[in-house]
Amino acid sequence: MSPLGKRIFQFELRAQLRSPGLWAALLVVAALLLFNSVDSWESAPAQLLIKLVGGVTSFVFLLSAFVTLNGLSREEREGFSDVFYALPPTNAAIYGGKLAAAAVSLSGFLLLVLSAALLVGPSQGEFGLQYWTVSGLLLLETALAVAAGMAVAALLTALVTQHRSRYVLALLWLVGVTLLVGLGFASGRYEWLSFSPLNMGEDPYFFSLIFGFFPGSAGIARHMLVQVFLVVLLFLVGRHRFLCRRENVDQRLRRLIASALVLLVASFAWQYAAWGQYRATVAAQVNYHADARFSKADSNARADWQSLSGEGDLRYGVGVAQNFHVARYHINLRLAHPQNGLQAEVIMLIEEPTQSSLFFTLHRTLAIDGVAWQPTLGESLNAAAQSANPSWQPIAWQRAGDYLRVDLPPNAVVSPEESLLLRITYAGPTNDAWLGWWGNNPVQFVTKQGAYLQAQLGWYPLPGGWRLGAAAGVMVNGVYKAGMPPPQPLRLTSPETGYRQSEFHLQVRTRPEWQVIANLPATGTIVWDTCPSVPSFTSS
Amino acid sequence: MHGALRHKGRRKDRLALTAAFKCIFLLCLASLRAGRRREGLKQREAAALAFSIQITDLTKQYRKGPPALNKVNLNIQSGMFGLLGPNGAGKTTLMRILATLLQPLSGEVYVGGVNLADNPGAVRAILGYLPQDFNTYRRLTVRQVLDYVALLKGLDAAAARRQKVELVLAQVHLKEKRHTQVAHLSGGMRQRLGIGQALLGDPQLLIVDEPTAGLDPEERIRFRNLLVEISKGKVVLLSTHIVGDVESCCSRLAVLNQGNVCFTGSPAELAAKARGQVWEIAAAEEQHTTLPASARVIATRRIGDTVHRRILSPMRPLPAALPVEPTLEEGYLQVVKAGATP
Ligand SMILES: Nc1ncnc2c1ncn2[C@@H]1O[C@H](COP(=O)(O)OP(=O)(O)OP(=O)(O)O)[C@@H](O)[C@H]1O
Ligand SMILES: [Mg+2]
């Protein structure tokens, strides 16, 4: 920096540090971090950090733009610009100094993110490589959000003479970027996310960071690359506009702009190609919307909630108290069939069925094929689990939204110390399911390399009535890492239910190279059976 | 097999990443170097400036309306140069162009042989500028503002800077207000602060746009004397509506009207423009006379019971009118009138 640039930098830094705007911005971000942490403190540390920071970057972007604009337009606001711009410092010194001061004062955002990282991990006992990788990436992401905000501010200062309109336009810029991201999500064109600096907490990157799914760290790097070139391009175009106004434009600057543009297009094309590959392979196969089973799911929902409702309070996530205990699950699962996303046969060993109606929670997009029962009569569950066993007797059931009621025949209601076997077969989409205007709610998240089964999303029948997924605000709670020992219990505990843990036997049949992750109770034993050729189910 | 393929893909990714980062690095380096080279050039050229301003065919057109400056030609030598003209004549426009704040549509300006368009930095390095409505950082004190401007004008040494700021504070009579926030100054004091910041750094080219607006008579006289004192060997360009300011201190002046220069010369020459066209009529107060349409009353003076009226008219307006020696103001009015009619 030239000596005059340094003078301006020092003056600006002092002015920024004195301005209440900067402190308000830092306070807003600190408050947001705190607010997000209250919301999802129970998540595993790395995910919690992503949630904390991912929700904040859009504000960081906007506040950076505002703080930078505040510095850049100081002279205009004070009516000093005529004198100021007729002083010896060149444009480069003026804007270099001002932008450097803004960058230094905005590094407070980075300090906030860093302190969140230093607080969350150690306080939850996590020192792993993944955690620190995530922390580093989030710091980078925040830095990019700051840089993008500053670049937009610089560009707007160069293009717009009215200093008040610049703030409005910066806000509109954020709205535009958000819309672009929304459109990208809605149409499955994730490459559009790269134009926003704000997506580390969004599904593709989130699952990448936690499980190493597609697009993986390379996808994140490509996203950041697009961002870097975008930021460089915005700065260069801004500089070009300034020079056009007050000085002569250097031919070299034009060349720089052209090269930045080429690099931006190239990096975006790279990201586009990668996501295009994803669309052509995985997404095409798991796209389930046109499938007949989906309409069956609608027809399953024939009873309304009123006809099912018993006691219980929905506010605590409990619609219907469970009046029985599932001692053991035997889940036979088939994933990512070309036509059918998920097919399941679940046999449950039910203890103490003291009432004739059993309530379960099963995601609404999973359509039920049939429900059958048989008394255990001393047989082992494994022997009874042969689905061809002729002693299964079909029974009546009703569906309402995410809820399922099974009505046992009179002879099945037994004394508290006895038990029975219940078999439920169902199928449904494996990817996003349209749930009306409430948005998409995936039963599982499926990518190129595998599937992640989230118990909170009700992909198997949960005993009792629960609010699922986003509705319960537990979308990502209790998400665990690939390769970890079987996870801890579900976080579906509530004072009203004496929840007891079940034992799980899970058999997954899926494509050979797939990775499948589930967060089932610690007592479960999970059998990964990844056969290349999958024998199809026989439904009763 | 799978693993090997994946490994290869990763390496390709990494190669491309390194290449991209190299590109960014080179981009940054190139722009930094370009900036440094330009700055060095400007400083060298500034030193070579001699102090006269040559303006040829300068035209400025705002987005709406007629040209604000229309092929202006002026030659400004060192000393004080006055710019006169009615509202909207283009004085501020001309001064903003000279202060490198506006770009003309066409025409050329040479400041001491250096083309303004090619090298605005050289002009900024020797410039002191007071805009028509001066304002500055409201929350800073008078001293802080002057100190910052002095810094930006290259007064690096702290002691020398303090000394210079104190000198300027004394010159514009703001010593007692040095620790007052700008927001708490009166309009005239703020104007004096504006004059003060323009004087910092001993500018070789001082452009002051209506500097005496808002000053009380005492301050105005003080300022005029100050200007005369510092204008030796420098170019001082002064615009004003107060003809008296020009008369008392400018050796040369120009009259602008609707973007055209309608006069350049000394104050005496301007006054002479109205020679033979200024008349005086002395009459008793109650006496009422009708004047011809082309005549204009410029001044009315009452001495005892008689009212003396000075009249600008191409010919003798009344038989009783006596020709008198014109003042500068009358010359100015005559020139503006003549410039407006054709
Ligand atoms: N920013 C602008 N945009 C459009 N037109 C402008 C602008 N500034 C000045 N003008 C026009 O240019 C002409 C010259 O204006 P200028 O300010 O130079 O006059 P001036 O001689 O300084 O007047 P005054 O004595 O009132 O200060 C006027 O007609 C004015 O309307
Ligand atoms: Mg003016």
Chain position carrying tokens 């490198």: B100
Ligand 2 geometric centre to CA of B84 (Å): 10
Ligand 1 geometric centre to CA of B98 (Å): 15
Q: Is the domain of B91 the same as that of B217?
A: yes
Decide if A433 is inside a domain. yes
Cβ of B336 below 6 Å from ligand 1: no
- Per DSSP, A282 falls in state I
Which of A217, A245, A280 marks a domain boundary?
A280
Q: Is the domain of A225 the same as that of A321?
A: no
Of A4, A78, A225, which is closest to B152 when you measure between CB atoms? A4
Q: Which residues pair with A400 in a beta bridge?
A: A403
Decide if B270 is inside a domain. no
Please answer yes or no on whether B96 and A90 come within 8 Å at the CB atom: no
Positive or negative, the CA dihedral A102, A103, A108, A109 is positive
Q: Is the domain of A256 the same as that of A332?
A: no
Tens digits of per-residue pLDDT, A114-148? Answer: 999 998 888 777 777 878 888 998 999 999 999 99
Q: Atom 16 of ligand 1 has which residue's CA nearest to it?
A: B90
Q: Is the domain of B307 the same as that of B246?
A: no
A46 falls in which pLDDT band (50, 70, 90)?
confident
Q: Is the domain of B244 the same as that of B165?
A: yes
Q: Is the domain of B299 the same as that of B236?
A: no
Amino acid, single-letter form, for residue A364: R
The nearest CA of chain B is from the CA of A18 a distance in Å of: 10
CB distance A156 to A69 below 8 Å: yes
Q: Which residue of B has its CA nearest to A240?
A: B31
Q: Is the domain of B125 the same as that of B198?
A: yes
Decide if B272 is inside a domain. no
Q: Taking CA A164 as the corner, what is the angle to CA A159 and CA A167, rounded to the nearest 5 degrees?
A: 75
Decide if B331 is inside a domain. no
Q: Is the domain of A432 the same as that of A507?
A: yes
For A189, the 3-state DSSP assignment is coil
Q: Is the domain of A111 the same as that of A176?
A: yes
- Per DSSP, B242 falls in state -
Q: Is the domain of A100 the same as that of A61?
A: yes
Q: Is the domain of B201 the same as that of B290?
A: no
Decide if A438 is inside a domain. yes
Q: Is the domain of A256 the same as that of A297?
A: no
Pair of tokens at residue A140:
């980078």
CB distance B54 to B110 below 8 Å: yes
E strands along A271-415, which residues? 325-335, 342-351, 357-361, 367-375, 393-394, 396-400, 403-407
Q: Is the domain of B195 the same as that of B82?
A: yes
Q: How many domains does chain B have?
A: 2
Ligand 1 geometric centre to CA of A312 (Å): 77
A471 exposed, middle or buried (CB, 10 Å; 0-12, 13-18, 19+)? middle
E strands along B219-293, which residues? 235-240, 252-257, 260-265, 278-284
Amino acid, single-letter form, for residue A426: Y
Q: Is the domain of A248 the same as that of A311?
A: no
The answer, yes or no, to whether ipTM is higher than 0.90 is no
Residues whose CB falls within 8 Å of the CB of residue B258, separated by 6 or more in sequence, listed in order = B66, B70, B88, B89, B90, B339, B340
* CA–CA gap between residue A405 and residue B257 (Å, rounded): 93
* Residue of B69, B84, B91 with the most ligand 1 atoms within 8 Å of its CB, for mutation: B91
Please give the pLDDT value at position A291: 32
Q: Is the domain of A159 the same as that of A223?
A: yes
Range of the domain at B305: 278-324
Please give the pLDDT value at position B136: 94
Decide if B334 is inside a domain. no
CATH of residue B121's domain is 3.40.50.300
Residues whose CB falls within 8 Å of the CB of residue A240, separated by 6 or more in sequence, listed in order = A158, A249, A253, A254, A257
Whether A310 has a pLDDT exceeding 50, the answer reads: no
Q: Is the domain of A439 the same as that of A403?
A: yes
With CA atoms as reference, report the closest residue to A352 among A421, A417, A287: A417
Backbone φ and ψ for A388, nearest 5 degrees, come out as -80, -5
Of B34, B152, B154, which is closest to A252 when you measure between CB atoms? B34
With CA atoms as reference, report the closest residue to B132 among B187, B209, B219, B200: B209
- Dihedral Cα B110, B114, B116, B121, nearest 10 deg: -150
Q: Taking CA B132 as the corner, what is the angle to CA B131 and CA B133, rounded to the nearest 5 degrees?
A: 95
Q: How many domains does chain A have?
A: 2
Q: Is the domain of B197 the same as that of B295?
A: no
Decide if B313 is inside a domain. yes
Q: What is the CA radius of gyration of chain A?
A: 28
Decide if B42 is inside a domain. no
Range of the domain at A431: 290-520
Whether A285 has a pLDDT exceeding 70, the answer reads: no
Q: Which residue of A has its CA nearest to B29?
A: A256
Whether A233 has a pLDDT exceeding 70, the answer reads: yes
Decide if A297 is inside a domain. yes
The nearest CA of chain B is from the CA of A519 a distance in Å of: 28
Q: Is the domain of A79 the same as that of A220?
A: yes
* CA–CA gap between residue B231 and residue A46 (Å, rounded): 70
Q: Is the domain of A188 the same as that of A156?
A: yes
Decide if A535 is inside a domain. no
Whether A315 has a pLDDT exceeding 90, the answer reads: no
Q: Which residue of A has its CA nearest to B37?
A: A2
Contact residues, chain A, for B35 at CB < 8 Å: 2, 90, 92, 96
For A342, the 3-state DSSP assignment is strand
> Measured in whole angstroms, how far is the alpha carbon of residue A80 from the centre of its chain?
48
- Dihedral Cα B283, B288, B289, B291, nearest 10 deg: 110
Contact residues, chain A, for B99 at CB < 8 Å: 82, 86
Listed by number, the residues of chain A in 199-238 with a beta carbon closer than 8 Å to a beta carbon of chain B are: 218, 221, 225, 228-229, 232, 236
Strand A450-453: give its sheet, edge to edge: A444-446, A450-453, A515-518
Decide if B213 is inside a domain. yes
Q: Is the domain of B191 the same as that of B296?
A: no
pTM exceeds cut of 0.80 = no
Backbone φ and ψ for B267, nearest 5 degrees, come out as -55, -40
Decide if B341 is inside a domain. no
- Per DSSP, A280 falls in state I
> Measured in whole angstroms, how far is the alpha carbon of residue A373 from the centre of its chain?
38
Whether A479 has a pLDDT exceeding 70, the answer reads: no
* CA–CA gap between residue A69 and residue A62 (Å, rounded): 10
Decide if A537 is inside a domain. no
Tens digit of pLDDT at every position of chain B (342 positions): 343 333 444 444 555 556 655 656 565 555 555 544 455 445 444 444 447 899 999 999 888 888 899 899 999 988 899 999 999 899 999 999 999 888 888 899 999 888 988 888 889 999 999 999 999 999 999 999 999 999 999 998 999 999 999 999 999 999 999 999 999 999 999 999 999 999 998 899 999 999 988 888 898 888 888 888 888 888 999 998 888 888 888 889 999 998 999 899 998 888 888 888 888 888 876 666 777 777 888 888 888 888 888 888 888 878 878 888 888 888 888 888 876 654
Q: Is the domain of A187 the same as that of A124?
A: yes
With CA atoms as reference, report the closest residue to A492 among A445, A444, A457, A443: A457
CB distance A268 to A228 below 8 Å: no
Q: Is the domain of B169 the same as that of B127?
A: yes
* Residue of B62, B70, B209, B332 with the most ligand 1 atoms within 8 Å of its CB, for mutation: B62
Q: Is the domain of B169 the same as that of B286?
A: no
The nearest CA of chain A is from the CA of B41 a distance in Å of: 12
* Residue of B64, B70, B93 with the most ligand 1 atoms within 8 Å of its CB, for mutation: B93
Decide if A178 is inside a domain. yes
